Amino acid sequence: MKSIHIDLGKDSYDIHIENGLLDRAGEYVRNLTKSQTLAVISDTTVDGLYGDRLEQALRKEHYNVRRIVFPAGEKYKCAETLLQLYQELSDAGITRSDYIITFGGGVVGDLGGFAAATFLRGVPFIQIPTTIIAQVDSSVGGKVGIDLPSGKNQAGSFYQPKGVLIDPELLRTLPLRFIHDGMGEVIKYGCIHDEELFALLEALDDETISGHWEDIIGRCCEAKGRIVERDVLDLGERMLLNFGHTIGHAIERCYGYGYYTHGEGVAAGMAMLTGVTEHMGLTEAGTTERLCKVLRRYGLPTDVQASADDLLRYIGNDKKKRGNRMTLIILKAIGQSELLPVMADELPKYIRKGE
């Protein structure tokens, strides 16, 4: 069992990571709240696989459990689903002294977390993330929200959970494409913050990694937690988490969302940018080769067909651009990252490379 304390003053919380934790979720929730009623928000896939088990675990602690389920998929992370959630929370008689549990991937965490943040001006909530993306990224840091027709994650807020319960065994049912998608972010943490994690990933592969999830997820949460503690509102250091994302987002947009997964876009983005900065002498020699090798090991791309011009077209409206300055995140070496402010007109220098 691994526990990580996220120190955010009155908004502090703990992340617990343990194989089999799902069946003991009731005890952990009981330590956090004396309330009687819990609303568990989930999607159809996760509810179908694990909803009964979670309900049983919670009922052992005599909770009234109300399961609220919406269809799986990013397209349901929208205002219409949010309104339905409000209605169901209201029908269930949820009050501010009850708790909401978000049980699923990043979609459930973001949407359910935003419902928790805004229903009755805020109901406390607990995250039980079930994908790698959710276990290492979206459940930590307090960003919740929904997509709008005008763009992804365009309505949202910062709302910290009261706790995060991670059971790595739930990843056994996650399809390989989503595993690889999440590995894009896992490798990113190794790159920006944790060389030991990176070295561990170099030594494992798709088969052998499953015995190491507790350690790996713990290291990622630790990395994200420490960075978020120093920059809750994403005004400075938290930008390090965007390594690979400027080009990655451009790749996702250029091909249309869904062609490359987010993790695939980030993977190619990290490899391409590091190729450029290594060539410029800003990154230790040999870093790109190490990075590309590990990305390929987990089925991730190190390059895409799109030209520099194609990609630049989709970087123009990236939110990291402020005025005509932007901040790129680059590696000095594996495990060491830094912010590099660049003028927007210098950006073309940093786009491309790759093999």
Known binding-site residues for NAD(+) equal 106-110, 130-131, 143, 152
Residues in the chain: 355
What's the min distance (Å) between Cβ of 322 and ligand NAD?
A: 20
By the rule CB under 6 A, 141 interacts with ligand NAD: yes
Stretch that binds ligand NAD, among 44-52, 203-211, 279-287, 295-303 (CB under 6 A): 44-52
Interaction residues for ligand NAD, span 180-209 (CB under 6 A):
181
Q: Which of 108, 227, 240, 331 is the binder for ligand NAD (CB under 6 A)?
A: 108
Q: How far is it, in rounded angstroms, from Cα 332 to Cα 283? A: 4
Across the beta sheet with 37-43, the strand order is 2-6, 13-17, 163-166, 125-129, 99-104, 37-43, 64-70
By the rule CB under 6 A, 255 interacts with ligand NAD: no
By the rule CB under 6 A, 138 interacts with ligand NAD: yes
Stretch that binds ligand NAD, among 42-50, 114-122, 187-195, 243-251 (CB under 6 A): 42-50
By the rule CB under 6 A, 86 interacts with ligand NAD: no
Q: Which of 77, 188, 219, 245 is the binder for ligand NAD (CB under 6 A)?
A: 77
Closest CA to 338 of 294, 253, 277, 255: 277
Q: How far is it, in rounded angstroms, from Cα 247 to Cα 313? A: 11
Stretch that binds ligand NAD, among 22-30, 73-81, 116-124, 329-337 (CB under 6 A): 73-81
By the rule CB under 6 A, 51 interacts with ligand NAD: no
By the rule CB under 6 A, 74 interacts with ligand NAD: yes
User: Which residue's CB atom is positioned nearest to ligand NAD?
Assistant: 106
Q: How far is it, in rounded angstroms, from Cα 212 to Cα 214? A: 6
3-state secondary structure 158-226: ECCCCEEEECHHHHHHCCHHHHHHHHHHHHHHHHHHCHHHHHHHHHCCCCHHHHHHHHHHHHHHHHHHH
By the rule CB under 6 A, 179 interacts with ligand NAD: no
* Per-residue tokens: 183: 């590995």
Residue 119 near residue 89, CB atoms below 8 Å: yes
Q: Is 154 helix (H, G, I), strand (E, B) or coil?
A: strand
Q: How far is it, in rounded angstroms, from Cα 306 to Cα 12? A: 43
In the complex, the residues that contact ligand NAD under the rule CB under 6 A are 43, 45-46, 49, 72-74, 77, 104-108, 110, 130-131, 133-134, 137-138, 141, 143, 152-153, 170-171, 173-174, 178, 181
